[in-house]
Every structure is written in C-alpha cells, then in structure tokens.
C-alpha cells in the first residue's frame, strides 16, 4: 500500500489547532455582527466563466478547475492546447477568493438586497500556488464589506472593527496603517506623470521588500526622470503626526483636485472625535496595496514588529464592484483578516487563552459494571451544568485511565471506589488538589 498522504499544500487541522482557530474566527465573527454585518456563504464551486479573467493571467492559471462528468475523451480530442483543454473539460472551478463570489452574489440579487448591504464571509479558498512556508493551497479568508454606500462612516467603522478584534485577541503593538488612493493619484499629478499612476503605485508598494533605493530604481525603470523620482521619494518620506502630514499634503497637493479630495477623506477617517482607538490609525504615505481596483481609503494591519510576520489584514474602498457582472454603480469598502497569520502571531506571543486550549474538563473513570448507572448519572448531572465531561468507556486499570486523562490534558478526574458508596473522589491534576465529596455535593462542586 502506498504511503498515505494529503495533497501538497493542504493541511489536516487536529483538535488543538481547530479550537484555537475557532477562537480567532469566533472573535472576528462576534465583532462583525456587533457592527451589523450579516453572514453570507457562497458555494465552493463557481462557474469557471465567473472566475476567469478576474485575477490576472497568473490568477487564471492558479484557479483549481473541476472536471466535467460525461464524455470528456471526446472533448479532449477537440482541444489544441492545455489551456483550451482545461476550459473545455471544466465548467466549474473552486472559489479563488471571497470578493468575486460576493460581487457575483450582489449582481445576481441586487434587486432584492437592502442597500447598504453589510456582509461578512468566512470560508476557505483554493489557489494552485506553489506550496511554501506559510503559503497553502487551501486557506480561510475572512472578509467584511459594505456595498451601496459612499459614506466614510463605513471606513471609520471598519477600522474600529480591526481595533476591536485585535484588542479582544489580547494583541498589543499592532499597527493600523492607512492611506488613500486619491492621494497617490495626486502624487502622480504632482510629479507630473498622472499617466504613470499605476506604475508609481506598484513601485511604492514594494517599499517593504526592496527598500527606498529599490523603489527609486524601480521608479526610474518605469519611466520617471530623476527629478520626478526625487519628488515622489520626498512625498512618501513626509514625516510627523497624522495632522502634520495632512497639513503638508494639503499644501503639496493644492493644485490636484483628486489629491485634495483624498486629503479630505483622510481627515474624516482620522478624525479622533468620531471614534477612539486602542491603536489609532496612522497615515502611511508609503502604503499603496497592489490591487488595482481600490479607489479611496486603503488600509493594512501590521503585526507587532517583534514577531516578524508582516501584514495580518488589509482592505480598502473600490468604486465599482459589480460592474464586471453587468451591474454598474455599486461601490463598496471592505476589510479582510489573515486568519492563518493571526494564528501564527498569537502562537508566537503565547496569547491563546486557556479556554481556547482546553477541551474536556472532567473525566469520570469507568467504575466497573456494578456502579455504571450511578456514574452515568453523575456525568449527566455535570453535563447538565454545561461542563464538558467524558466517561472513560473501557473497564481497565485506573492508572491507564489516568494516563489517558493526563495526555489529553483533562484537568479534573473523578471516580468512585468500591468501599465508599455515594462518594466521589476528584483530583485537579494541574493544581495537584484532591477532594472527597458526597454524591449530593456534586451539583455544587466547582469544576
């Protein structure tokens, strides 16, 4: 028999991991709902035609395609290359992200939806990337978007959601960085190259990876002159408080209508009277975010500097989500949490609470046939209090049952002994405490 395995880039999540992931996801979900976001789930499979052309050429290649049923051999013989063959053979594909299925859903249901529509969606997505450390072929995305509202109140609330969730997760030192695409458009005008707005954005977006000199080089390569590059570099190097930066931006972008609009939007979003933050958003003019569909605020959440994990979330405003599907004019703004990376951060910093690491709280040892019904009753009584209880199902030596409890990390063991009717012996393993109680005291015992 061949060695058992699972496909490259996929993972089994055992109990310890699922519990900790569920803790993260439950915290996010609770906050989404607190802000009025509503759950949506779309199918794992979409029509291939819904997905193709939405993620660039590279993306098209990385979409997992699902083989049609029926006479695929006949179809196979009609194809002239592998790409054409894959399209002939696969009408359906696996979800690649949550944004396009959401856009498809909104476009399909826009007559019925109450706008603004706040939805959140927490589901796995699949990508045929080459597997490597921290990059998987199946992973969860966790998105919240508001569509059908241009109000910047949405931006403020989404930033509050980041702050609330990360604070609830006991994380400190994370950074909420924001910028605005209109300001970057203003920058392109300022340097005299509005035609190169996208190139400038792409270059700036690499700052973290290639450093200042790298960005300078990239700007030159992409067609800016030395002087233009100097202007751009000076712009993104602006320092000071949010207020100082905004002041300076107003001056620099005085001649750019778009740029000033961006500054105004930033002022609204950063207005500390509206909302208070544990980690207030910081204006970061070097923040660009690669995705071309953003048109207003962009945001990125950085893990605390010490853990060296980088971005744990991001998002922004886009002007036309559903235009791709024939329903123009629905703008939106959204954020996303990187659950896998947040998991790694909490793990590195030891921030998972005990509750997220504990499963069964009490185990009753098998008492032998004679008192089985009695112990069943005890177990039921404790479960009725909402406490997770196992009964060890096999009638074996107590030290073996004890070992099982220990390895499973069950804190309380409880058992009866032949010589002691109506008496329960309890040990708290981690705290090395022993108790002997009467059966009628079980209801009040503090497990």
**Is 136 annotated among the ligand-binding residues?**
no
Interaction between residue 7 and a copy of itself (CB under 8 A): yes
Q: How far is the CB of 209 from a copy of itself (least distance, A)?
A: 26
CB atoms within 10 A of CB 350: 7
Q: Return the structure tokens found at 18.
A: 């699922």
CB atoms within 10 A of CB 429: 15
Interaction between residue 19 and a copy of itself (CB under 8 A): yes
Among 141, 154, 242, 336, binds a copy of itself (CB under 8 A): 154
C-beta separation of 246 from 180 below 8 A: no
Contact range with a copy of itself by CB under 8 A, out of 198-206, 240-248, 281-289, 404-412: 404-412
C-beta separation of 383 from 389 below 8 A: yes
Q: Which of residues 35-94 bind a copy of itself (CB under 8 A)?
A: 35-36, 38-47, 49-50, 61, 64-67, 69-74, 76-77, 79, 81-82, 85-86, 89-92, 94
CB atoms within 10 A of CB 315: 25
Q: Which of residues 237-266 bind a copy of itself (CB under 8 A)?
A: none
Q: How far is the CB of 186 from a copy of itself (least distance, A)?
A: 24
**Is 399 annotated among the ligand-binding residues?**
no
**Is 127 annotated among the ligand-binding residues?**
yes
Q: What are residue 175's phi and psi, to 5 degrees? A: -125, 130
**Is 98 annotated among the ligand-binding residues?**
yes
Interaction between residue 278 and a copy of itself (CB under 8 A): no
Strands (E), 322-419: 332-337, 362-364, 389-391, 412-417
- Give the whole-angstrom CA distance, residue 329 versus residue 326: 10
Q: Tokens 């046939």: give the residue.
A: 369
Q: Tokens 């703004």: give the residue.
A: 333
Task: Tell me if the bond preceding 136 is cis, omega within 30° of 0.
Answer: no
Distance set, CA 178 to CA 164, 297, 401 (Å):
17, 7, 55
**Binding-residue pattern over the window 348 to 367 for a copy of itself, x denoting contact by CB under 8 A:** -----------xx--x--x-
- Give the whole-angstrom CA distance, residue 263 versus residue 238: 14
Among 54, 55, 59, 153, binds a copy of itself (CB under 8 A): 153
Contact range with a copy of itself by CB under 8 A, out of 175-183, 210-218, 291-299, 402-410: 402-410
Q: Closer CB to a copy of itself, residue 43 or residue 329?
A: 43
Contact range with a copy of itself by CB under 8 A, out of 52-60, 210-218, 230-238, 371-379: 371-379
Interaction between residue 390 and a copy of itself (CB under 8 A): yes
- Give the whole-angstrom CA distance, residue 424 versus residue 414: 7
Task: Please give the angle made by the CA atoms of 286, 290 and 291, to the nearest 5 degrees.
Answer: 130
The angle, 0 to 180 degrees and rounded to 10, between the axes of the packed helices 181-190 and 242-252 is 40
- Classified as helix, coil or strand, 413 is strand
Q: Return the structure tokens found at 65.
A: 């395609």
**Binding-residue pattern over the window 108 to 147 for a copy of itself, x denoting contact by CB under 8 A:** xx----x-x-xx----x-x-x--------xx-------x-
- Give the whole-angstrom CA distance, residue 296 versus residue 262: 7
Q: Closer CB to a copy of itself, residue 210 or residue 383?
A: 383
Q: How far is the CB of 434 from a copy of itself (least distance, A)?
A: 22
Contact range with a copy of itself by CB under 8 A, out of 2-10, 244-252, 286-294, 302-310: 2-10
C-beta separation of 282 from 232 below 8 A: no
Interaction between residue 370 and a copy of itself (CB under 8 A): no
**Is 168 annotated among the ligand-binding residues?**
no
- Give the whole-angstrom CA distance, residue 160 versus residue 151: 15
Q: How far apart are the first and last CA of the chain?
A: 47
Contact range with a copy of itself by CB under 8 A, out of 256-264, 300-308, 339-347, 389-397: 389-397
Q: Which of residues 160-189 bind a copy of itself (CB under 8 A)?
A: 160
Q: Closer CB to a copy of itself, residue 70 or residue 444?
A: 70
Enumerate the known binding-site residues for L-histidine.
Answer: 97-99, 127, 141, 145, 289, 293-294
């Amino acid at each position: 028999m061949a060695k058992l395995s699972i496909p490259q880039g996929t993972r089994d999540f055992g109990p310890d991991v699922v519990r900790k992931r569920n803790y993260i996801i439950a915290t996010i979900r609770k906050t989404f709902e607190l802000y009025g976001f509503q759950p949506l789930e779309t199918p794992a499979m979409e029509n291939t035609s819904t997905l193709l052309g939405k993620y660039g050429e590279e993306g098209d290649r990385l979409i997992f395609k699902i083989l049609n049923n029926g006479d695929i051999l006949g179809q196979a013989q009609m194809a002239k290359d592998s790409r054409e063959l894959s399209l002939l053979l696969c009408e359906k594909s696996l979800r690649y992200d949550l944004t396009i299925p959401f856009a498809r859903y909104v476009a399909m249901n826009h007559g019925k939806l109450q706008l603004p529509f706040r939805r959140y969606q927490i589901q796995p997505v699949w990508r045929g990337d080459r597997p490597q450390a921290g990059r998987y072929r199946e992973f969860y995305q966790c998105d919240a978007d508001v569509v059908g509202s241009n109000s910047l109140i949405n931006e403020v609330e989404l930033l509050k959601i980041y702050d609330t969730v990360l604070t609830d997760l006991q994380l400190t030192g994370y950074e909420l960085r924001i910028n605005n695409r209109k300001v970057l458009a203003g920058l392109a005008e300022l340097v005299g190259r509005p035609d190169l707005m996208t190139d400038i954005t792409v270059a700036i977006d690499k700052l973290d990876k290639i450093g200042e000199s790298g960005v300078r080089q990239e700007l030159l390569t992409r067609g800016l002159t030395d002087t233009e590059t100097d202007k751009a570099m000076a712009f993104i190097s602006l320092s000071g408080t949010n207020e100082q930066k905004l002041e300076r931006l107003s001056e620099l972008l005085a001649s750019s209508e778009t740029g000033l609009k961006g500054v105004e939007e930033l002022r609204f979003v950063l207005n500390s009277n509206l909302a208070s933050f544990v980690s207030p958003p910081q204006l970061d003019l070097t923040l660009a975010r690669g995705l071309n569909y953003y048109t207003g605020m962009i945001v990125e959440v950085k893990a605390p500097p010490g853990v060296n994990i980088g971005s744990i979330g991001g998002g922004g405003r886009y002007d036309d989500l559903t235009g791709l599907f024939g329903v123009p004019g629905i703008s939106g703004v959204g954020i996303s949490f990187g659950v896998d990376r947040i998991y790694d951060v909490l793990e590195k910093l030891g921030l998972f609470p005990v509750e997220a690491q504990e499963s069964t709280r009490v185990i009753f040892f098998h008492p032998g046939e004679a008192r089985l019904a009695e112990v069943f009753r005890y177990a039921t009584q404790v479960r009725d209090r909402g406490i997770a209880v196992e009964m060890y199902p096999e009638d074996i030596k107590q030290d073996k049952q004890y070992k099982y409890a220990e390895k499973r990390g069950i804190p309380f063991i409880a058992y009866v002994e032949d010589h002691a009717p109506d008496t329960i012996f309890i040990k708290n393993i981690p705290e090395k405490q022993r108790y002997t109680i009467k059966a009628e005291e079980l209801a009040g015992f503090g497990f």
